[in-house]
Amino acid sequence: MSKLSVVIITKNEEKNIRACLETIEWADELIIVDSFSEDKTVEIGKKFTDKIFLKKFINYSEQRNFADEKASNYWILALDADERITKELRGEIIKLINNDKSYYDGYYISTLDYMFGKFIKHGGWYPQYHIRLYKKEKAKWKNTVHEIPYIQGKISYLKNPILHFSHLKISNFIKKLNHYTSIEAKELYEIGYKPNLFRLIFWPFIVFAYKYIYKLGFLDGIHGIVLSSSLAYYHFARYAKTWELWFKKEHNINDD
């Protein structure tokens, strides 16, 4: 019978970490890799596990790989502090890992996002599948922003979703989008990508129409408008920031 390690990377998650850990107490091992939180994240975590490691944050993949190295079990479930495992998903995972003859090396699990006071089920938000359950020896995390575990082997899907309490406030959502677009703009700039007028002017409108109309975002009411508009802004911001980096280089503008 195989065992399961749950790994979580954290930074200032005192508002989320307890609720998350309460849904995975059944796991054989709980591992937290914290980026030197300034709140009570570590203090709360210690009530659930003694396997808490501090590591300076460099990028998401490096944190994930470090956490996986600390895991001592055959199977790993990767979570964020703002996520919750339902009873249905727990039962599905336990049944799977207890099958020593499992044919697959990794599994996609969908996430059901709770945003601004509502579970979002349209606009391309649900189901969003991510590889979260995998055999330790078969996985390696890559990408610096939207990290992905690359699996050496076959991958399948689980039925039940992870509940993701991702953005309770619109302001926090916009702040996170701004953070990600700054990182992605730098990456685009470093590989030599120069955005054209189509990307700056028309692409955001295409994204909005795709999410709000084609992906039925309008069925989520005002939430659908807010999310589709925010994603349109996301794509505009990443290309606008990339353009800004090139403009400053070409005109020798130094922010310092």
Does the pLDDT value for residue 1 go beyond 70? no
Parse the chain into domains and list their residue ranges.
4-166, 169-250
Per residue in 62-115, pLDDT tens? 999 999 999 999 999 999 999 999 999 999 999 998 876 668 999 999 999 999
Residue 256 has pLDDT above 70, yes or no: no
pLDDT confidence of residue 146 = 76
Give the model confidence (pLDDT) of 146-165 as tens digits.
789 999 999 999 999 999 99
Task: Give the chain's largest Cα–Cα span.
Answer: 63
Using CA atoms, how far residue 246 sits from 193, 232, 235, in Å, is: 9, 22, 17
- 9 pLDDT above the threshold of 70: yes
Confidence at residue 100, expressed as pLDDT on a 0 to 100 scale: 63
Specify the CATH superfamily of domain 4-166: Spore Coat Polysaccharide Biosynthesis Protein SpsA; Chain A (3.90.550.10)
Q: Quick one: pLDDT at residue 253?
A: 86
Give the percent of the chain with pLDDT over 70: 97
pLDDT confidence bin for 120, thresholds 50/70/90: very high
**Contact criterion met (CB below 8 Å) for 96 and 77:** no
Least confidently predicted of 54-68, 161-175, 214-228: 161-175
Token pair listed for 72: 């001592």
Of 98, 90, 76, 93, the residue nearest 7 (C-alpha):
76
